[in-house]
Amino acid sequence: MGGDAAQIRLWLEDVEASAKKQRWDDERPWRADSHVWEEGGLPVVDLHDLGAAIARRAAEVVAARAAELEAGAVLFIVGKGKHSKGKAVLGEVVREVLAARCRADGWRWAPAAAGRLALIVDERRAPAAATGRLGLGLWLLIFTLLSLAVWACLGLPGVR
């Protein structure tokens, strides 16, 4: 499923061109090749090193075409706002974009890990990392542990 990240990189060519004009580009360049990747089948767009206006544009571009993604979701890294005065600017900007798109298209967005926001366009295809649902492996582990606990509590042979 490496195609989603590659597709997003193409969508963000204009954003990358704008990012090259930022005054801090020499020290902290934003390039699609370094800031868009996949984690566990989920495309990730890292908006660090973008100013608020360009980050908004990046989120708008990706959200506008997110239904085309095989993964059914996309993750935006907005950070915790260490470089913002007051609120975390990138987080606020991206939340606004995602909320508007979700109202228009009936999708949903959700906070993921700290400083990350997930746009979920298809719950069935979206990886658990985006939706927050527990994976099959974790459910099997929980079932096994509960079964062993019951077995031990009932004093059945073979468990000490």
Supply the DSSP string of 29-55, one letter for each residue.
---HHHHEEEETTEEEEE-TT--HHHH
The pTM of this model reads 0.78
Helix axes 52-64, 89-105, angle to 10 degrees: 20
Tell me, yes or no, whether 63 lies in a domain: yes
Mean pLDDT for the stretch of residues 24-33: 96
Tell me, yes or no, whether 151 lies in a domain: no
Neighbours of 65 (CB within 10 A): 14
Residue 139: partners with Cβ closer than 8 Å, 6 or more residues away: none
| Average model confidence (pLDDT) across the chain | 87
What's the total number of domains in the chain?
Answer: 1
Report d(CA 91, CA 81) in Å as an integer.
8
Mean pLDDT for the stretch of residues 131-144: 68
Instruction: Give which of 34, 64, 66 is closest to 50, Cα–Cα.
Output: 34
Tell me, yes or no, whether 160 lies in a domain: no
Tell me, yes or no, whether 37 lies in a domain: yes
Tell me, yes or no, whether 138 lies in a domain: no
Report d(CA 29, CA 35) in Å as an integer.
10
Q: Are 97 and 63 in contact (CB under 8 A)?
A: yes
Report d(CA 157, CA 151) in Å as an integer.
8
Classify strands 42-46 and 36-39 as parallel, antiparallel or unpaired.
antiparallel
Query: Which spans in 70-113 are helix H?
Result: 89-105
Tell me, yes or no, whether 144 lies in a domain: no
Tens digits of residue pLDDT in 67-97? 999 999 999 999 875 555 556 789 999 999 9
With cut-offs at 50, 70 and 90, classify the pLDDT of residue 133.
low
Tell me, yes or no, whether 143 lies in a domain: no
Domain that holds residue 29: 3-133
CATH of the domain at 80: 3.30.1370
Location of structure tokens 């990747």: 37
Residue 113: its H or E element: none
pLDDT of amino acid 74: 96
Assess whether pLDDT exceeds 60 at residue 42: yes
Tell me, yes or no, whether 155 lies in a domain: no
pLDDT of amino acid 1: 42
With cut-offs at 50, 70 and 90, classify the pLDDT of residue 149.
confident
Task: Name the percent of the chain lying above pLDDT 90.
Answer: 62
Report d(CA 160, CA 158) in Å as an integer.
7
Residue 84: partners with Cβ closer than 8 Å, 6 or more residues away: 90
